[in-house]
């Protein structure tokens, strides 16, 4: 991997240089400020960096603003960004994830932790390359309706929607929550009804566009609250709030569906789409730790999918009842 590390502390950059040399197989480029990093990125003809390691606290432009600027470059829209954080930076972590960070590494560094994080990043990059190859392969044959190039159950990276982060970043975010106070944190989810039908009938691009539009509508509906959201696959959007806000799912689902009803969504054939969502349980994270927090995320996800399935069944039952009557 080719990695760009940005930190205003020369000792950190030297430490990372030594470390990267020791683990081998990676190339490290360093910059001492956000502006120097941006100059480097602008100077290169095409996206050559596979990963970024950014300090959070830097003078003039901090690591969060730098992450935001990097994400605005289309070639780096989903390149892994690891934040380099000291204990005192924990309060900035939310902002870093919201800006597009993928994960974080705690200072002072330990070899094993750094190695593990870089290993995860390398795995992510490989997985992404495989998916990209599949999508290109589908495009080459015309991306016909019914193509399964984008698997239904796969998380999709959504860009440029406020507070929407990658699913891997969401999992990492939840992991760091376990190390902090979980008081006031809750997770909840929305699932698009009839997602299987949409997936089966649409080209990968149409499906991606629909998921993106849906993310934007949910994000706009939650505007004004502190939250992070991610598309987990199978039509489900998982959200987390740390602010103590306890969402009323009934009202939220109504608000999202009202917004969907007012939004004109079309497929490539010009036919109007009428997607709707169901909401699951709000699961509080207080007193949970480690695997229990991940379980809570899974519960929010599963209950939203169950609500969507129950809604579908009730529609079918309704028509069956009509036939009997």
> In the complex with another protein, which residue's Cβ is closer, 10 or 310?
10
DSSP 162: T
The answer to whether residues 278 and 188 touch, using CB atoms and an 8 Å cutoff, is: no
State how far the Cα of 125 lies from the Cα of 50, in Å rounded to an integer: 8
Nearer to another protein (CB atom), residue 12 or residue 182: 12
Query: What's the min distance (Å) between Cβ of 60 and another protein?
Result: 12
Say if residues 210 and 306 touch (Cβ distance below 8 Å): no
Q: How far is the CB of 122 from another protein (least distance, A)?
A: 20
Contacts of 307 (CB under 8 A, 6+ apart): 191, 278, 279, 280
Do 62 and 56 meet the contact criterion of CB atoms below 8 Å apart?
Answer: yes
Residue 219 in contact with residue 162, Cβ under 8 Å? yes
Smallest distance, another protein to C-beta of residue 170, A: 26
Query: Which CB, 21 or 197, lies closer to another protein?
Result: 21
Query: What region, left, alpha or beta, does residue 189 occupy, with left being phi > 0 and alpha being psi -120 to 50 degrees?
Result: beta
Question: Residue 83 has which token pair?
Answer: 């934040």
Binding residues for another protein, rule: CB under 8 A, are 9-12, 14-15, 18-19, 21-22, 57, 59, 84, 86-88, 107-112
* Least distance (Å) between residue 184 CB and another protein: 19
By beta-carbon proximity to another protein, the closer residue of 69 and 107 is: 107
- Closer by beta carbon to another protein, 112 or else 325: 112
Nearer to another protein, 23 or 286 (CB): 23
Query: Closest distance between another protein and the C-beta of residue 26, in Å?
Result: 14
Nearer to another protein, 110 or 160 (CB): 110
CB of 12 to another protein, least distance (A): 6
CB of 185 to another protein, least distance (A): 21
Q: Do 218 and 277 touch, CB atoms closer than 8 A?
A: yes
What DSSP designation does 193 have? T
Smallest gap from Cβ 9 to another protein, in A, equals 5
8-state DSSP, 74: G
Cβ proximity to another protein: between 89 and 166 the closer is 89
Say whether 165 sits in a helix, a strand or coil.
coil
d(CA 71, CA 38): 11
E strand or H helix that includes residue 167:
helix 167-177
Give the strand pairing for 186-192 and 277-279: antiparallel
């Amino acid at each position: 991997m080719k990695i760009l590390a940005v930190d205003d502390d020369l000792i950190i950059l030297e430490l990372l240089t030594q470390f990267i040399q020791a683990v081998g197989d990676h190339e490290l480029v360093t910059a001492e400020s956000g502006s120097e990093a941006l100059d480097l990125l602008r100077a290169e003809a095409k996206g050559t960096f596979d990963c970024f390691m950014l300090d959070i606290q830097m003078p003039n432009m901090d690591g969060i603003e730098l992450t935001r600027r990097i994400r605005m470059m289309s070639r780096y829209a989903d390149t892994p960004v690891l934040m380099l954080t000291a204990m005192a930076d924990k309060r900035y972590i939310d902002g870093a994830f919201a800006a597009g960070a993928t994960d974080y590494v705690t200072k002072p560094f330990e070899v094993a932790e750094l190695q593990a994080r870089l290993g995860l990043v390398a795995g992510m990059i490989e997985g992404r390359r495989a998916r990209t190859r599949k999508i290109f392969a589908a495009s080459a044959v015309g991306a016909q309706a019914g193509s399964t190039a984008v698997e239904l159950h796969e998380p999709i990276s959504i860009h440029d929607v406020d507070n929407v982060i990658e699913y891997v970043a969401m999992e990492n975010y939840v992991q760091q929550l376990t190390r902090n106070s979980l008081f006031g944190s809750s997770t909840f989810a929305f699932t698009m009804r009839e997602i299987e039908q949409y997936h089966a009938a649409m080209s990968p691009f149409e499906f991606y566009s629909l998921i993106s539009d849906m993310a934007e509508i949910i994000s706009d509906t939650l505007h004004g609250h502190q939250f992070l959201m991610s598309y987990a696959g199978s039509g489900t959007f998982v959200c987390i709030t740390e602010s103590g806000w306890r969402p009323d799912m009934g009202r939220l689902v109504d608000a999202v569906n009202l917004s969907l009803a007012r939004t004109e969504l079309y497929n490539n054939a010009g036919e109007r789409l009428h997607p709707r969502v169901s909401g699951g349980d709000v699961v509080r994270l207080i007193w949970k730790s480690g695997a229990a927090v991940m379980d809570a995320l899974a519960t929010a996800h599963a209950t939203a999918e169950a609500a969507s399935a129950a809604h579908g069944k009730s529609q079918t039952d309704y028509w069956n009842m009509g036939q009997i009557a």
